[in-house]
Amino acid sequence: MSVLLAAVVGGLFAIGTFLILRRDLVKVVLGVAVLTQGANVYLITMGGIEPGSFDTVPVLATHGDYVPDTADPLVQALVLTAIVISFGTTALALALTYRAYQENETMDVHQWR
Amino acid sequence: MAPDLSVITVAVALPFVAAAATPLLHRALGERTGFAGAVVALASFGLLLTQVGERGAVSFVWVPSLDVAARFYVDGWALLFALLASGIGALVFAYSRSYMHGDEHLARYYATLLAFMGSILGVALAADLVLVFLFWELTSVASFVLIGHHTDSDASRYSARMAMVVTVGGGLCLLAGLLVLAVAADPALGERTFDLSAMIASADAMEAALRERGLFVPALALFGVAAGAKSAQVPLHFWLPNAMVAPTPVSAFLHSATMVKVGIYFVGRLRPLLLSPEWTYLFATVGLLTMTVGAVLAVAATDVKQLLAYSTASHLGLMVAAFGFENAYGAEAGSFHLLSHAAFKAALFLVAGIVAHEAGTRHIDSLSGLWRDLPVTAAIAGVTALSMAGIPPFSGFYSKELLFEAAYELAHYDGGLTWVFPVTAVIASVFTVVYSLRFLSIFLGDRPADADPVHRAPALLVAPPAVLALVTAVVSVSPGVAVDAIVQSAVDATAVGDAELHVGLPDHVSPPVVMSAISIGVGAAAYGVGDRLRAGIGAATDRDPLGANWWYDRLLNGAEAASARVSPLIHDGSLRTYVSWSVTAAAALALLGYAATVAGLPPVGRTVPPTMALVLAVAGVAAVSVMVAPSHVAEVLTLSILGFMVAIFYILASAPDLALTQLVVETLVLLIFLLVIEQLPAFYGDIPRGVLARDAAVSLFVGVTVFLTVLLAGREATAEPTAVARYYATEAVPQGGGTNVVNVILVDFRGFDTLGEIVVIAVAAISVLVLIIMRNRGETQ
């Protein structure tokens, strides 16, 4: 597996974790978003990555018998679900952030204990 | 002839059904629920009685592909135990009707007792390891509830928790041991199975497979701890005397005849499978040690029930030791004593209950001369206590004789240190005689002048122990009846090879007869100096570190104190603490897993294509910018760059659907972020240097872990597609009728998952709506 790919995924996880550990609630939400991107790319690498071609796209050309070796469709289905769910959770987290600020009048996570 | 599956299933299930129905029964019958329980127990007893003589396995397949089945195995050993449990159960239910008169929690009491009886029948008859474990733990849970019957008493709660901790802890060892067996079944039987009867059928192959993998001794040790915890073997014996806070019928049923025999039963069950020199050393040593320690402590006991509790531990030791010996006498002694001990010990507990009920005290020194007021009870106690002492011609004598024979046989052949076994057995028997006579002494002599008057016991209390005394008497007078009826078939099931059980009074002088004579003679003589003996034992054992109780308390208090110190460190209400601990632990566990299974880093594969490298590099830079951005707006915009770069990455990785979705979602997320952060102030707290360093360390650790796992677990593009990927690709058109494989998976193959996803989005949308709109409306009104 490519070192660059691994480094970028690792970097996304590290930066996401660092942001979640901040006191500013917006940064925490941003951290979750970065982690999500990292996790999605991670999942895709589990299916194997090769240079794209006509055959590797998991959309079959014909209804015929010939099925080429496509990129792993299962991880793509998983990631598609993950993208949509993460959209829902990010929107909810932002709404919660907004309400939390209205209630507490601070963005500091540490003052909410 | 094979046993009848429906009969076995009904016999096991009936008590559970009755337990569920007990609240209703109690409403209808009140205190007479005890009789209903007795009827249920008798029904199970009768059903099992029809199966006597059968031998074989029956099963009810549930999930065949996972080898999950309700398997039952019937043979003499299983039936002996199950019949004892249901038979004594019936007597205990009848006894409870009178003994538990006026108790507030009768419905709970009877329901638990019934469920307990069902679990015991389950343990006895189950042949599936998972089922065995399930029933085994159910007995512990039921025992916990019954020991803690008086919920408002501290002693009761303390003892219930102690029994729970010890026996469930042993249950965990059992689980581990059962899994070891299942693993060994793979090479031995050709498949991974939980079928215990199949394992016992090919015992040699199982033993070879266990030894080959070095799992034989660990498995033996695990089963030793499990059986020892359940059957109160030293050093895990201490919960049994504490469990005497339970109502007396519970003590008679659980803590003499059934629950504590579960360990014995399982030792007997596994004996043909695991018999070996190691087996002998483990179980004969532990058993004889327990036999001696229990007998010595019973001599020093001051409370009637406590005396019986220690005596029970001692007799359980006898049975464990008997099954430990490799020769046929061992299996004979263990099987025969299971029957005789259950009969006389349950009767003695019920007698102790009568004494406490009528004389108002259980203190041995303040009781004497009870035979005048309780003549029938005294007769029952006479027969059963002499049997407990092993005095000929009572039933306990025969089992002790067989144990002496087994120990002598081993020492005679092996010589050397093994002579310790018969000597210890004799010493333990001496003390057994002493405490048995001491128990009898409460009925002999004269009443103390200042004692309260003793009421005559109601017939309903006396009848159940009388039945048990009758059984003891029959087994004593003609042991052949019991042997022919069931004990011989129990011996066949637990012995290796042929074993013909002969019991009877000896007609010539042999070493075991001499050993018996010594123990009875010395025991009777030692009873004469009983007070000095008790004082000596009391002085010798009155040191904290010698008491297992003390160790238990220290361990538990230590654990409580440690968790009180540790818990504020790992959950203090701050998000940062939770995140730090959980991600560090997850990363550390992942690394540990890889360290344990992966030999080395794989060779680094091809680099990604240049376009993809460029996109990934930009994504990385964008992520760094999110972290260091000077304002919320800059953070959100750079996050968006990251998202769009990932979308392009999806295009390059042959995932057009993902790219489309990602583009739509990123646009929406950008809009929502911009809308929200407009309403929020920027918060820029100073980050202390120490906190920064710690957070950076945690993040780097997580990042490096992920980096390594991607390198190790990522699939090479050149690898063959996985079977499941190939399946979806080839079946998309024939089964789903669509050429876009990803879409077919989402809406067809995994349609329910997508439905769940839509529900999540809908719930999130409703929550957002509530948070933003409805809440405001509520506040303004």
Average pLDDT, rounded, for chain B: 88
Nearest to A51 among B609, B650, B767 (CB): B609
Question: Is B170 near chain A, with CB under 8 Å?
Answer: no
Closest approach of B660 to chain A, Cα-based (Å): 10
pLDDT of residue B775: 66
Residue numbers in A near B729 (CB within 8 A): 58, 60, 67, 70, 73
Q: Within 13 Å of residue B226, how many CA atoms lie on the same side as its CB?
A: 23
Phi, psi of A53 (to 5 degrees): -150, 180
Complex ipTM value: 0.95
Residue pair B525/B532 in contact (Cβ under 8 Å)? The answer is no
Q: Which residues of B fall within a CB distance of 8 Å from A83?
A: 658, 661-662, 665
Instruction: State which fold the A3-59+68-112 domain adopts.
Output: Helix Hairpins (1.10.287)
Q: Report CB contact under 8 Å: B655, A95.
A: no
Mean pLDDT for the stretch of residues A71-80: 91
Main-chain phi, psi angles of B25, to 5 degrees? -60, -40
**According to the 3-state scheme, what is the secondary structure of B47-105?**
HHHCCCCCCEEEEEEEEHHHCEEEEEEECHHHHHHHHHHHHHHHHHHHHHHHHCCCCCC
Per residue in B629-643, is it b (16+ CB within 10 Å) or e — as a string? beebeebbbbbbbbb
Judged by CB atoms within 8 Å, which residues 628-657 of B form the interface with A? 632, 635-636, 639, 642-643, 646, 649-657
Tell which wins on pLDDT, B46 or B713. B46
Q: How far is CA B745 from CA A37, B660, B742, in A?
A: 22, 17, 5
Residue A24: phi and psi, rounded to 5, are -75, 125
**Over residues B387-408, mean pLDDT:** 89
Please determine, for residue B101, whether its predicted confidence score (pLDDT) is greater than 90: no
Note the pLDDT of residue B698.
95
pLDDT digits (tens, 9 = 90+) for B507-526: 888 888 889 999 999 988 88
Average pLDDT over residues B108-128: 93
Q: Verify whether the Cβ–Cβ distance A44 to B653 is below 8 Å.
A: yes
Please give the pLDDT value at position B723.
86
Instruction: Give per-residue pLDDT as tens, B438-496.
Output: 898 888 877 776 667 777 888 888 899 999 999 999 988 888 888 888 888 888 888 88
Nearest CA to B650 out of A32, A22, A57 is that of: A57
pLDDT of residue B690: 86
Shortest distance between the Cα of B64 and any Cα of chain A, in A, equals 28
Window 2-61 of A: residues touching B by CB (8 A cutoff) are 2-15, 17-28, 30, 33-34, 37-38, 40-42, 44-53, 56-61
Segment B554-590, tens digit of pLDDT: 999 999 999 999 988 888 888 888 999 999 999 999 9
- Residues in A closer than 8 angstroms to B742, CB to CB, are 58-59, 73, 76-77, 80
Number of neighbours of residue B756 by Cβ within 10 angstroms: 13
Assess A104–B contact: CB distance below 8 Å, yes or no.
Answer: no
Sign of the torsion formed by the C-alpha atoms of B669, B675, B676 and B680: positive
User: Is residue A99 less than 8 Å (CB to CB) from chain B?
Assistant: yes
Q: How many CB atoms lie within 10 A of CB B534?
A: 18
- CA end-to-end span of chain B: 81
CA-based nearest distance A43→chain B, Å: 9
Give residue B601's pLDDT band: very low, low, confident or very high (50, 70, 90). Answer: low
Shortest CA gap B141–chain A (Å): 38
Rounded-to-10 torsion of CA A58, A60, A61, A65? 140
Residue B579, chain A, CB below 8 Å: the answer is: yes
Taking only the tens place, the pLDDT of each residue in B221-240 is 999 999 999 998 988 888 88
Q: For the residues B33-47, what does the mean pLDDT come to?
A: 92
Cα separation, A31 vs A39, whole angstroms: 12
DSSP symbol at A61: S
Segment B188-204, tens digit of pLDDT: 887 778 888 888 888 88
Q: Quote the percentage of chain B above a pLDDT of 70.
A: 97
Cβ within 8 Å, pair A15-B627: yes
User: DSSP character for B303?
Assistant: B
B343-382, pLDDT tens digit by residue?
Answer: 999 999 999 988 888 888 888 888 887 887 888 889 999 9
Q: Hey, of A28, A50, A56, A78, which one would you mutate to test binding to chain B, going by the most B CBs within 10 A of its CB?
A: A50
pLDDT the model gives residue A112: 66
β-strand B68-74 against B56-63: which pairing, if any?
antiparallel
Whether the bond between B235 and the residue before it is cis, its omega within 30 degrees of 0, is yes
Q: Exposed (0-12), middle (13-18) or buried (19+): which is B190, by Cβ within 10 Å?
A: exposed
**For range A13-23, the mean pLDDT:** 93
B614 interfaces chain A, CB cutoff of 8 Å: no
Sign of the torsion formed by the C-alpha atoms of B371, B377, B383 and B387:
negative
Q: Residue B653 and residue A52: Cβ atoms within 8 Å?
A: yes
Is A78 an 8 Å CB contact of chain B?
Answer: no
CA distances from B60 to B6, B63, B65, B130 (A): 10, 10, 14, 14
The model's pLDDT over B732-769, given as tens digits with 9 standing for 90+, comes to 888 888 889 999 999 999 999 999 999 999 999 999 99
A98 and B729 within 8 Å at the Cβ level: the answer is no
CA distances in angstroms from B488 to B80, B320, B472, B494, listed in the order given: 10, 18, 17, 10
The answer to whether A100 faces chain B, any CB pair under 8 Å, is no
- Answer with the residue of higher pLDDT: B701 or B100: B701
Contacts 24+ apart (CB under 8 A), B477-482: B477/B393, B479/B336, B479/B395, B479/B398, B479/B503, B479/B504, B480/B504, B482/B336, B482/B339
Range in A35-49, B741-755, B764-778 with the lowest mean pLDDT: B764-778
Nearest residue to B278 (alpha-carbon basis) of B326, B322, B319: B326
Q: Which amino acid is at B54?
A: E
Residue B780 has pLDDT above 70, yes or no: no
Across the A/B interface, how many CB contacts are shorter than 8 Å? 300
For residues B704 and B585, is the Cβ–Cβ distance under 8 A?
A: no
Contact B299, B534 (CB under 8 A): yes
Please state, in angstroms and as integers, the Cα–Cα distance from residue B667 to each residue in B660, B662, B760, following that order: 11, 8, 20
**Which residues in A lie closer than 8 A to residue B681 (C-beta atoms)?**
101, 107
Asked if B752 has any chain A CB less than 8 Å from its own CB, the reply is no
Residue of chain A minimizing CA distance to B667: A87
Is A96 exposed, middle or buried (CB count within 10 Å of its CB: 0-12, 13-18, 19+)? middle
Q: Do B657 and A6 touch (CB under 8 A)?
A: no
Closest approach of A83 to chain B, Cα-based (Å): 7
Mean pLDDT of B603-630: 85
Measure B654 CA to nearest chain A CA, in Å: 5
Tell me whether B742 touches chain A (CB under 8 Å).
yes
How high is the pLDDT of residue B781? 43
Task: Supply B690's token pair.
Answer: 């120490």
- Verify whether the Cβ–Cβ distance A49 to B676 is below 8 Å: no
What burial class does residue B249 get, using C-beta atoms within 10 Å of its C-beta: 0-12 exposed, 13-18 middle, 19+ buried?
buried
In the chain, the amino acid numbered B768 is: V
Q: How far out from the chain centre does Cα A102 lie?
A: 29
> Residue ranges of the domains in chain B?
275-554
DSSP bridge pairs for A24: A108
Could you give the 3-state DSSP secondary structure of residue B128? strand
Helix (H, G, I), strand (E, B) or coil at A59: strand
- A93 at the B interface (CB within 8 A)? no
Q: How far is CA B398 from CA B11, B328, B393, B480, B579, in A?
A: 32, 15, 8, 11, 66
Question: CB neighbours (10 Å) of residue B399?
Answer: 28
Q: Chain B contact for A111, CB < 8 A? A: no
Contact residues on chain A for B721, CB-CB shorter than 8 A: 69-70, 72
pLDDT value, residue B138: 94
Q: Which residue has the higher pLDDT, B526 or B546?
A: B526
How far, in Å, CA of B503 to CA of B471, rounded? 16
Residue from the list A21, A22, A101 with its beta carbon closest to the beta carbon of B580:
A21
Asked if B612 contacts B653 with a C-beta cutoff of 8 angstroms, the reply is: yes
Which of B573, B604, B745 lies at the smallest CB-CB distance from A73? Answer: B745
> pTM for the full model?
0.79
Minimal CA separation from B192 to chain A, in Å: 30
Minimal CA–CA distance to B71: which of B186, B182, B196, B169?
B196
Q: How far is A2 from chain B (nearest CA, A)?
A: 5
Got the DSSP string for B315-349? HHHHHHHHHHSSSHHHHHHHHHHHHHHHHHHHHHH
Residues of chain B found within 8 Å of residue A13, distances taken between Cβ atoms:
702-703, 706
- Is-contact B752 A43, C-beta < 8 A? no
Residues B87-111 as b or e (16 or more Cβ within 10 Å = b): bbbbbbbbbbbbbbeeeeebbbbbb
The CB-side HSE value for A22 (13 A sphere, CA atoms) comes to 22
Cα(B63)–Cα(B177) distance, rounded to whole angstroms?
23
Is B703 close to A109, i.e. CB distance below 8 A?
Answer: no
- For residue A11, list chain B residues with Cβ-Cβ distance below 8 A: 620, 623-624, 703
List chain B residues with CB under 8 Å of A63: 733, 739
